[in-house]
Amino acid sequence: ESTRNLLIEILEKNKNNYISGEQMSKMLGISRTAVWKHMKELQKDGYEIEGISKKGYKITQFPSKVSVNTLQWGSKTKWLGKTLIHKHSTGSTQIIGHQLAVEGTPHGTVVVADVQTEGKGRFDRKWHSSNNKGIWMSIVLRPNLLPNQAPQITLLAATVIADVIKSKTGLSPNIKWPNDVLINNKKVSGILTEMQAEQDRIQYMVLGIGININQSVETLANDIKASATSLRIESTIEWNIRDLIQETLAHFEQAYDSFIDEGFSPIKSKWESYAYMIGQSVRIKTFKKETTAQLIGIKEDGALIIKNEDGSHESLYSAEIQW
C-alpha cells in the first residue's frame, strides 16, 4: 500500500515528463517487474498511464472513479480516512457513521457514497444526493471538546469547504450562517452535525458533508432548481470527484489539527471573511421577536452577532433569517 502511494506521488511529480521504469524501481527499491505490476493495479482503478518504450511512463489521467483504493492511494492525510468505507448506494452515510461510531470505529473514520437514497438535511429535511454527481460523506470524530463547542466544528467544516472550492475552482464561495456554502447566492453545499454527548463530554460526532459537484441545471431536482447550484453549473467544467474528496479530507485534517493546537480564533476570522451579507441589514425572526438588524460576525461559540437598530449587540444561537 505504501509503495503504491509512493508510486502515485512519483507519477504525480513527473506528470509533465516521462519517467523510466528503471528510475522508479530505484526510487522505490523494488524490481522493475514489481513496478510494472503496481502500474497494472493502478490502471485497473482508473489511473491512465502511458508507457512509451525508451522514454518511460507518464500519468495522463487520475481516476474519477471513487473507491477505497482510489481515495486512499495518493492520499495526503495522516489520520483522516485511514478507516474508509465506500458504498455505491446507501440510505444515508450519517446512519453508517453512527453505527460505526457505536461499534467503536476510530476518530477520523470516513464514509463515502456515490448515491444516497435518503440523504438527510437538518430538522428532518431531505438532502438530494444523486448518483456520482456530488460528494456525500460523513466523518466520525471523537474530539476532546465540550458539547457546546460542537458548533465550532461545523463552522470549521464550512470554511474548509469554502477553501477547497476557492482554491480548486477559482469560484468565490460564501458561507451563510450557520452552515450553508453558497456560490452566487445559491446553495452548493450543506453540513449536518450530529453528536452523541454526555453533559461534559462529546462521545462522538458524525459530521455530514454534501457538496454538489457535477449536476447540470437539468439534472438538479425540481424543488431545488431555483435555490441550489453545483460546481459544474458555476464553472461549466466537469470536476473529478475523487480528487475533490481527497482535497477536502486533506484540508479538513489540516484545519482540524490547527484548531486543536491554536484554538478557534483563526477559523472565526476565516469564517467571517467568507460570510454572506456581513455588514448588511436583514430581517431576523427569533422565538422572542422579529426585527431588522445588521450582521456583524460570529462569536467563539458559533453564535451569530447582530447589531440592533438601537445600536446594541446581541448573540443569536438560533434564528430564522430572511436572506
Of 4 and 242, which has the nearer Cβ to ligand BTX? 242
Interface with ligand BTX, residue 26, by CB under 6 A:
no
CB of 207 to ligand BTX, least distance (A): 9
Alpha carbons 212 and 234: distance in angstroms, whole number: 11
Alpha carbons 48 and 299: distance in angstroms, whole number: 48
Length of the chain: 323
- Chosen residue from 74, 173, 190, 302 binding ligand BTX by CB under 6 A: 190
Alpha carbons 10 and 27: distance in angstroms, whole number: 9
Q: What 3-state DSSP class applies to 212?
A: strand
CB of 165 to ligand BTX, least distance (A): 14
Q: Which of 158, 129, 147 is nearest to 252 (CA)?
A: 158
Interface with ligand BTX, residue 266, by CB under 6 A:
no
Find the helix packing angle between 21-28 and 32-44, rounded to 10°. 100
Taking a C-beta distance cutoff of 8 angstroms, is the pair 71, 95 a contact?
Answer: no
Interface with ligand BTX, residue 98, by CB under 6 A:
no
- Chosen residue from 32, 88, 125, 313 binding ligand BTX by CB under 6 A: 125
Residues from 99 through 118 that contact ligand BTX (CB under 6 A): 116
Q: Contact letters (x/-) for ligand BTX, 41-80, by CB under 6 A?
A: ----------------------------------------
CB of 215 to ligand BTX, least distance (A): 8
The grid coordinates listed for 291 are: 426585527
CB of 256 to ligand BTX, least distance (A): 18
Question: What b-and-e string marks burial along 25-64, b requiring 16 or more CB atoms within 10 Å of the CB?
Answer: beebebeeeebeebbeebeeebbeeeeeeeebbbbeebbb
Give the interface segment with ligand BTX, choosing from 135-143, 163-171, 242-250, 259-267 (CB under 6 A): 135-143
Of 119 and 143, which has the nearer Cβ to ligand BTX? 119
Q: Which residue is associated with the grid cell 436583514?
A: 282
Give the interface segment with ligand BTX, choosing from 4-12, 186-194, 245-253, 275-283 (CB under 6 A): 186-194
Q: State the number of binding residues for ligand BTX (CB under 6 A).
A: 28
- Chosen residue from 6, 141, 155, 192 binding ligand BTX by CB under 6 A: 192
**Cβ neighbours of residue 197 under 8 Å, at least 6 residues apart?**
147, 150, 203
Q: What 3-state DSSP class applies to 151?
A: helix
Of 209 and 303, which has the nearer Cβ to ligand BTX? 209
| The residue type at 276 | Y
Taking a C-beta distance cutoff of 8 angstroms, is the pair 213, 232 a contact?
Answer: yes
Q: Which residue is associated with the grid cell 508510486?
A: 7
Q: Contact letters (x/-) for ligand BTX, 200-229, by CB under 6 A?
A: --------xxx-x-----------x---x-
Return residues touching ligand BTX (CB under 6 A): 92-94, 116, 119-123, 125-129, 136-138, 180, 187, 190-192, 208-210, 212, 224, 228
